[in-house]
Amino acid sequence: MYLDLVKIFVPTAFAFFLGLFLTPIATHFFYKYKMWKKYARNGNGVSEEFQKIHKEHKEHEELHTPRVGGIIIWVSVLFTTGFFYFLSVLFPSYDTEKINFLSRNQTLIPLFTLLIGSLIGLCDDLFQIYGTGKIAKDDKSWRMWKIFLILLISFLIGIWFFYKLDIISIHIPFNGEMYLGVLIIPFFMLVALATFSGGVIDGVDGLSGGVLASIFGAYSAIAFANNQIDIAAFSSVLAGATLAFLWFNIPPARFFMGETGIMGLTITLSTIAFLTDSALILPIVAMPLVVTSGSVILQTISKKLRGGKRLFKLAPLHHHFEAIGWSKYKVTMRFWIMSVIFAIIGIVLAIISR
C-alpha cells in the first residue's frame, strides 16, 4: 500500500513541478512565434449578450493570448512517464521498477490516445494560428472533420479494447455486467465523441483546467480502488500536469488550453473510463462537461422547434451565467466547486456499486 501511494504521488508532484518549470520556457516560445488565434469572432451573427460578456475577452485578444497552452500538460505527462520508465530501465531495482507506471495492459493505450489526440489538436490550433480561409476561422465544415477524426481514433481504440484487451462488457452500477460484445466499439466511439463535445467548457479563463483536474483526480481514486495502480498513477499525473497549467491560467490567463489540450485530454478520459470499467460513472464524475455540452444541444433544439426561441440567454451554460450577471471569477469558482462535488459522488458510486 505504501509503495502504491508513492507510485501515485511522486510522479504527480514531478509532473506538477515540471509543468511549472516548463511554462516560462514555453510561454517565451508561444509569444515569440505569435501562437494566438488570428480570427476573433466579430459582431456578424453574434448576439448582443455574447458581445457584451466578451468585452473583456476581446481585450485579451488584443493582448495576443496564445492558444496552445495544452502543450504544457501533455509534454509534462509524456516526459514524466518516460522519465520513470527509463529510470527503471537504466537503474533497475525494486524501487525504480515499482515506481514505473508505464504498462502494456493499463497505461500504454491512454498514453497513445493522449499523444495522438493532442497532436491532432495541435494541428487544428496551428491551422487557426497560421492558416487562412475557412479552416483558420474554425468553419463548420472543419469542425465536422474534427468529429470524423475523433470517431476514427475512437474506432481504432475500440478495436484494441475488443480484440486485444477482451473488453466485451460494461459495468452497470448496482446491477453487474452487461454484455456488449463487438458493440463495445461503437459504444466507445459514442462516449468519446460525447466527452469531446464537453470541451466547449474551455471558454472562461481557468474553467477547463480546474474541472479536468478534478475529473482525472477522481479517476485516479477509482483506479486505485480497483487495484489498477498504473492507471491511478497515470490519471494522477494528468491531474498534476493540468494543475500546473491552471497555475498560469488563473484569470487573466497567460495562455488558453486550445484544441491540443482539450482533444487529447477528453479522448484520454474516455479511454481511462473504459479501462477502469466505469464508463457509466463518467457522466457523474464529468457532470460539468455533461451539462456544458447538454446546454448547447438543448439550445439548438429549442431554436429549431420553438421558432428561434432560446432556452438559455447564451450557450454553453457558463456563458448563460455570465449573461445574467455572474462575474467570470464566480462562474469559474462555482464550476470548480461542483466539479469537486460530483467527482466525490462519482468515486463513492464507483466503489460501492461493485
Percent over 70 (pLDDT), the chain: 90
Residue with the larger pLDDT of the pair 347 and 2: 347
329: Cβ contacts below 8 Å, ≥ 6 apart: 251
Name the pLDDT band for 199 (thresholds 50, 70, 90): confident
Low-confidence winner among 128-137, 270-279, 281-290 (lowest mean pLDDT): 128-137
Share of the chain above pLDDT 90, in %: 68
Q: What is the pLDDT of residue 250?
A: 82
Which residues does 93 contact at the CB level (< 8 Å), separation at least 6? none
Q: Which of 233, 281, 263 is nearest to 71 (CA)?
A: 263
Determine the pLDDT at residue 3.
Answer: 83
| 64 or 33, higher pLDDT | 33
Measured distance CA(300)–CA(305) in Å, rounded = 9
Which residue in 117, 75, 101, 109 sits closest to 241, CA to CA? Answer: 75
Residue from 336, 102, 337 nearest 242 by CA: 336
Read off the C-alpha cell for 239: 491531474
pLDDT at 60: 47
Among the ranges 104-108, 283-287, 309-313, 327-331, which has the highest mean pLDDT value? 283-287
Other C-beta atoms within 10 Å of 187: how many?
17
Q: Residue 44 above 50 pLDDT? A: no
User: What global pTM score does this model have?
Assistant: 0.92
When mean pLDDT is compared across 35-49, 65-79, 95-109, 121-135, the lowest value belongs to 35-49
Helix locations, the chain, DSSP H: 2-32, 48-53, 55-62, 70-90, 94-99, 108-130, 133-136, 140-163, 184-197, 207-225, 229-247, 258-275, 282-285, 287-305, 317-323, 328-352
Cα separation of the two ends of the chain: 21
Instruction: Extract the C-alpha cell encoding 205.
Output: 479563463
Q: Which residue has the cell 512565434?
A: 33
Whether residue 125 contacts residue 30, with contact meaning beta carbons closer than 8 Å, is answered with: no
C-alpha cell belonging to residue 156: 481504432
Please tell me the predicted confidence (pLDDT) of residue 62: 41
In the structure, what pLDDT confidence band is assigned to residue 129 with cuts at 50, 70 and 90? confident
Measured CA distances, 62 to 38, 56, 200 (Å): 10, 10, 22
Tracing cell 457509466 back to the chain, one arrives at: 280
Output DSSP code: residue 253: P
Cα–Cα distance, 12 to 235 (Å, whole number) = 9
Q: At what angle do helices 328-352 and 207-225 cross, to 10 degrees?
A: 10
Query: Tens of pLDDT along 165-197?
Result: 999 999 999 888 999 999 999 999 999 999 999
pLDDT tens, residue by residue, 293-346? 999 999 999 999 888 889 998 989 998 998 898 888 899 999 999 999 999 999
Q: What are phi and psi of 172, to 5 degrees?
A: -95, 115
Query: Which residues, including other chains, have CB under 8 Å from residue 233's CB and lie 6 or more apart?
Result: 7, 8, 11, 12, 101, 107, 220
- Res. 122: pLDDT tops 70: yes
Average pLDDT, the chain: 89
Q: Does residue 236 carry a pLDDT above 50?
A: yes
Q: And the C-alpha cell for 167?
A: 473488453
So what's the pLDDT on residue 43? 45
Contact 88, 96 (CB under 8 A): yes
249 close to 202: Cβ distance less than 8 angstroms = no
User: Which of 159-163, 262-266, 281-285, 350-354 shows the lowest mean pLDDT across its residues?
Assistant: 350-354
pLDDT tens sequence across 68-97 = 999 999 999 999 999 999 999 999 998 899
For residue 87, the model assigns a pLDDT of: 95
Q: What is the average per-residue pLDDT within 221-235?
A: 97
pLDDT digits (tens, 9 = 90+) for 201-227: 887 888 899 999 999 999 999 999 999
